[in-house]
Amino acid sequence: MGSIGSLVAGIVLSTTALPAMANIVTPSTTFGMGMTTTIATTTTVAPTTTTTTIPRHHARDAKTTTTRHAHVVATSATQKPRSNSNGSTSPTTTTPTPTTVVTPTTVAPTTTTTVKSAPVIKAPAPSVSNPSANIDPSPNFLATGACSFANGVWSCANPCVVGTASALSWPGYTGGVDCTNYILSAINNARAIEGVRPMVLPSNWFSLSVPEQLFVIADLERTARGLPPYVGINAALSADAQHSAATNSDPSIAAGFPMANDAQGSAGFGGAWSGGYAVLVADYIWMYDDAWGGSVAKTSNIACTSAGAAGCWAHRDELLGSDPGYNQGVGLGCTNCEMGTGFAMVNGRASYVDLIEIPTGSLPPMTFTWVNNVLPNLS
């Protein structure tokens, strides 16, 4: 996985149809190597005024010790990803006509048959194409939607918004059922546009920890595109991911994990960092809103500086396993990759990290796996 600097996914949380509520953009401030913009949302109810500052959220990929030069790879004209199976056509076996050699002895003639080796047919490498452009969330979980005051409290069409008797605010983090289903609807709308089957969360989703949910989501995105799942969560990888989440920073190669090189001979790892008030928000921004938005202000990915920049879709490609035009990553077809995930609340805001590495030799121990903890809970 190569360094692409600080990829910043900026999420603008807006309000809609709320009396006396306005979006005020305050001067930008620096955050790491990227820029962040805060939005002050002011709600006036009766004589009380409450101001909530909502920072734009960020996403970054993991650092590497190896510099890799980027070039732009043309995207497919179709928005539907291609999922190639690992199967191959059956090899054919050609058997030549047997030849008989008679020796000048009294022993009965012997027959020698020579069979040519079957040709080796290599299965095509898996590939995944990206959408031609960002997919606007529908329903728009980044806006309040219509809001109303009834029974002594404010409420909005977006159930993720927190309403009280005197104010509305965006949560620093939420895993509520209504909010989760609202964002999941947007993800499945984006998947329908992309031509990918709907995402179905495991039945134990709401009992999982946030780090476990991050692992599940990464694998649900891979398997929906015909890619093998990452095997499980490793403690050493999670220690690095947790440190990165707690410091709002990029993940790096984890100490204590026996990492192998990727197919290109570079360090076999990849990862991403993001903010966002829910796990599914981070997933949406990584997977469906990682391209050029038409202007710098409307682009969540700071490395995507134009429509054809190599950094566009870098988070998505990195989490799926490979971006040949920018970062090699662990490989789309990786069958032994393990993950580390981290979650922290930093200054009242959620911070998420995914870290993926290829192990050398046998699989290191894992605390949570796709086979044992996820598959049994998928319908």
Structural domain includes residue 76: no
Q: How many secondary structure helices (H) and strands (E) does the chain include?
A: 5, 17
The distance in angstroms from the start CA to the end CA of the chain is: 34
Q: Is the peptide bond before 211 cis (omega within 30 degrees of 0)?
A: no
Distance from the Cα of residue 36 to its chain's centroid: 21
What CA–CA distance (Å, rounded) separates 257 from 355? 12
Structural domain includes residue 372: yes
CA neighbours within 13 Å on the CB side: how many for 38?
A: 13
Q: What total of structural domains would you count in the chain?
A: 1
Confidence label for 277 from pLDDT (cuts 50, 70 and 90): very high
For residue 325 the two structure tokens come to 């035009």
What CA–CA distance (Å, rounded) separates 323 from 311? 10
What CA–CA distance (Å, rounded) separates 235 from 341? 9
pLDDT on residue 323: 66
What CA–CA distance (Å, rounded) separates 196 from 187? 10
Structural domain includes residue 93: no
Structural domain includes residue 16: no
Question: In the predicted model, what is the mean pLDDT of residues 246-271?
Answer: 91
Higher per-residue confidence, 206 vs 27: 206
> What is the domain range of residue 180?
22-69+130-377
Hey, is 217 helix, strand or coil?
helix
Structural domain includes residue 106: no
Structural domain includes residue 111: no
Nearest to 266 by CA among 331, 219, 319, 312: 331
Higher per-residue confidence, 98 vs 284: 284
List pLDDT tens digits, range 239-256. 999 999 999 988 999 999
Structural domain includes residue 86: no
Average pLDDT, the chain: 75
What CA–CA distance (Å, rounded) separates 225 from 84? 9
Q: What value, to the nearest 5°, has the Cα angle with vertex 319 and ends 281 and 300?
A: 45
pLDDT on residue 179: 98
Dihedrals phi, psi of 283, to nearest 5 degrees:
-60, -45
What CA–CA distance (Å, rounded) separates 320 from 229? 10
The label of the residue with tokens 């020579």 reads 114
Q: Where are the alpha helices (DSSP H) in the chain?
A: 177-194, 210-223, 235-246, 279-288, 314-320
Structural domain includes residue 17: no
**Range with the lowest mean pLDDT among 123-127, 314-318, 353-357?**
123-127
What CA–CA distance (Å, rounded) separates 156 from 109? 93
List pLDDT tens digits, range 278-331. 999 999 999 999 999 999 999 988 888 999 898 899 889 989 998 666 667 899
